[in-house]
Each structure stands twice: as C-alpha cells, then as structure tokens.
C-alpha cells in the first residue's frame, strides 16, 4: 500500500498557508481520507496546530468548541498563525453559533479547518449562521486512478471493492472485508451520522430502504413498489425523505427522471444509485468471482460505478444535474445537463445492446449529444480516470 496525497488535500493546504479570511470546511463520506488529509496538512505547515475530534458516543456541548479554541489561542506566539482542526464538528450542539461568535471576535490569527461526514447538518449550520464565512471543500470517494496508485488494483477490483481506502487492507480476505465494511462503515454511518443526529421515527425502515438500494443498484424503483417491498413503509413522502437523508450521508441517492423545461413530477420513480460500489458488494452474497461471472449483476455493478463516478466528480461543480430518462420500455441510463448542454449516456458492459432509448431521446431532444461508455464507446478505464467536465463537456 502506497501513501498518496490527494489533490484536494494540496488545494486546502495552499489556501491555509495563504491565510484567506474564511473557515475552510472539508466535507465527505467516512473513510475517504478527510482526517488523513488534515494530518498531512498539519505536517506540511510551518506554524503550530491543534487537532480535536467530536466523534464521541454522546454529543459535545458548545463548551467543548470553546475549549479547543482557547487551546489554539494559547499556541499563538507573537502574532504567529495557528491552525485549529475540528473533526466531525457537526456533532457538537450549537456548533455553528459558537464558531460564528469565536470567529467574529477573534484577536489572533486562528485558521480553522472543519471536517464533517454529514452534508445535511454541516450545510444547515453554515448557511444559517456562517454565511459568507466559509469555503467548502469536498473529499469524495477514491476514483480508479487513486486506487490503482495506492493499492495497485485493476479496474475489476475497484468496481467490486469500491473507493474506500480504509477498507483496502482487508480486500485479500473477502469475508473479513465484507464484515469490516458493514460494521465499521455502514453501521457507523447509520448509527452515528444519521440516527444519532437526525429525527428518524422509523429507523428500521431507513435501514431497509438502504438495503433495498444495495439489492437493486442502478435500477428504477417506484415509491409504490417500495411500499410493497418494505414493511411498515408508511407513505411515499416518508420514503422520499429517508432517501434524501441517505443521500446526505453519502450512501444512496435517488436520481430523478429528466424533463427539460418542466417541473419534474413530485414522487416520480427514482433510480437508485449507491455513492460507492463497496456498499453493494458488502451486502451481497456474491463473491468477487461470482459477481464477475453473473453478466446481468456485473452489468448493474458497472452501471452503478459509472453513475457514482459522475456523482462524485460533479457534486462540487454547481450547475450540473444528473438524472435518467425513461419512456415506456425504453431508458437512457444517465442524462447530464449543464446549462443548455445535454449529454445522454448509455453504459454497455457486455449485456445485450439497448441503444434504442438513446435514439428516442435524441428525437425528443435533437440538440442533445449521445455518448456510449464501455463496449464500442469510451473505454471504461478511460472514463473512470477522467474528469467529467473535461471528458463530456469539452
């Protein structure tokens, strides 16, 4: 295993060295290198720092944040800057109001780096109390190129084991790897990042909804069909809300159906997409070998990976939307839109060709471009190593 420094880490290091007058925030899934990146930043800085994590069994109160601030101030000598790193900050009660007060009344050069794994809670605090005082940096799941460099993985390994670097040490023992992903990642996210910090009235339903997405990756699933699959599902509004929560925890999202120039139908059937393929494999009974041999299943794995790569690469780029298109029995796997630019994407991974949907989409939207990824199109490895803006909107 090779230690690498991600480009996102270098970008944050640069702005902290310059001392821009805003709070730097790193947000992203668990076990994708946020804390490692922060420690790499600390090692590279020429001025002192202090690190503290709020990832405790019970939420800390505002006094915890005030204490960490005072510790940072005590390290500032003769006007020297100090970096204060606050990990899992969203778990501190009243963190945004307290940090706003400390930031606005600071008398020393305290440079703040806040880390968090709950997009919803961090965004609420930043928009409500810290407007204009922060810059958001997104640390996403590791792409194919990073996993190849760090672990010497082939593309199929990355497609199965996903982009969580913290789980890679278990990849040679699939059963241990599955257990580790479930216990240390999925359960930790659900128990700490979701259930502990959100008002969830039906926690079993939330878990079952996540399990459903992992069982049917990259498939269109109507809310009414979900009601039939899930016990005690309540109503479609509850399911849509829980799917949104799972999205903010970087687990599962529900893509909406593309509809240019129209308001998308409320409650339309979402296409279930996992942010990382490791979530699919960990909850599947299939081994790496069995998954590859099952052409239909492997096709879903590849399609989900394509969608997840787009999702991870574009989540920090405003103005880009990811949807899908469906009419009758015909479908376009993904539709990307940036302003007036529309790109229809079909994924071909060895399954029977299904490009009729692309033709129908082009008839409905003549200015759209059609792209095939995989067989007879952009090679999968090229796609997974590319940035979406450069590849599809150049």
pLDDT tens figures, 25-61: 998 898 899 999 999 999 999 999 999 999 887 889 9
Average pLDDT over residues 310-318: 87
pTM of the model: 0.91
At the top level of CATH, the class of 7-138 is alpha beta
Mean pLDDT of the chain: 90
Q: How confident is the model at residue 123 (pLDDT cuts 50, 70, 90)?
A: low
> pLDDT digit string (tens) for 250-275?
999 999 999 876 545 455 799 999 99
Most confident option among 37-41, 204-208, 318-322: 37-41
Inter-CA distances, 160 with 198, 248, 281, 305, Å: 30, 23, 6, 9
Which residue ranges make up each domain of the chain?
A: 7-138, 144-392
Average pLDDT over residues 230-244: 86
- Say what the pLDDT of residue 268 is: 74
Decide if pLDDT at 19 tops 50.
yes
Decide if pLDDT at 203 tops 70.
yes
Decide if pLDDT at 350 tops 90.
no
Decide if pLDDT at 202 tops 60.
yes
Alpha helices in the chain, H assignment, sequence order: 7-18, 34-44, 62-74, 95-104, 119-128, 144-151, 155-161, 174-180, 187-188, 203-215, 223-229, 236-248, 277-283, 288-293, 295-314, 356-364, 380-384, 388-392
> pLDDT digit string (tens) for 272-303?
999 999 999 999 999 999 999 999 999 999 99
- Say what the pLDDT of residue 126 is: 67
């Amino acid at each position: 295993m090779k230690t690498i420094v991600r480009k996102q880490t270098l970008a944050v290091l640069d702005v902290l060295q310059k001392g821009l007058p805003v709070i730097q925030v790193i947000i992203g899934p668990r076990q994708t290198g946020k804390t490692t990146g922060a420690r790499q930043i600390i090692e590279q800085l020429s001025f002192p720092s202090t690190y503290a994590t709020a990832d405790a069994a019970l939420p800390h109160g505002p006094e915890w944040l005030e204490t960490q601030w005072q510790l940072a101030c005590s390290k500032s000598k003769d006007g020297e800057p100090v970096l204060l790193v606050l990990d899992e900050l969203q778990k501190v009660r009243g963190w945004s109001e307290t940090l706003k007060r400390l930031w606005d009344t600071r008398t020393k050069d305290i440079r703040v780096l806040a880390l968090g794994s709950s997009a919803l809670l961090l965004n609420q605090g930043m928009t409500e109390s810290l407007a204009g005082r922060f810059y958001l940096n997104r640390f996403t799941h590791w792409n194919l190129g990073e996993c190849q460099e760090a672990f010497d993985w082939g593309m199929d390994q990355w497609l199965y084991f996903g982009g969580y670097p913290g789980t890679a040490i278990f990849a040679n023992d699939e059963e241990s790897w599955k257990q580790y992903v479930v216990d240390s990642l999925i359960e930790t996210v659900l128990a700490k990042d979701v259930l502990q910090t959100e008002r969830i009235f039906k926690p079993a339903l939330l878990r079952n909804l996540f399990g459903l997405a992992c069982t049917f990756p990259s498939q269109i699933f109507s809310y009414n069909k979900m009601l039939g699959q899930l016990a005690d599902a309540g109503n479609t509004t509850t399911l849509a809300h829980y799917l949104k929560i799972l999205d903010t925890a970087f687990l599962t999202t529900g893509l909406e159906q593309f509809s240019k120039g129209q308001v998308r139908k409320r409650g339309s059937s979402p296409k279930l997409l996992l942010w990382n393929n490791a979530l699919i494999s960990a909850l599947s009974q299939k081994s790496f070998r069995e998954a590859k041999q099952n052409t239909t299943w492997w096709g879903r794995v590849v399609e989900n990976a394509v969608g997840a790569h787009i999702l991870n690469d574009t989540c920090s780029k405003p103005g880009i939307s990811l949807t899908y298109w469906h009419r009758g029995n015909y479908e376009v796997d993904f539709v990307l839109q940036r302003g007036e630019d529309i790109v229809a994407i079909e994924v071909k991974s060895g399954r029977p060709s299904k490009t009729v949907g692309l033709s129908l989409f082009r008839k409905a939207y003549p200015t759209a471009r059609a792209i095939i990824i995989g067989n007879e199109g952009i090679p999968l490895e090229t796609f997974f190593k590319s940035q979406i803006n450069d590849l599809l909107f150049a």
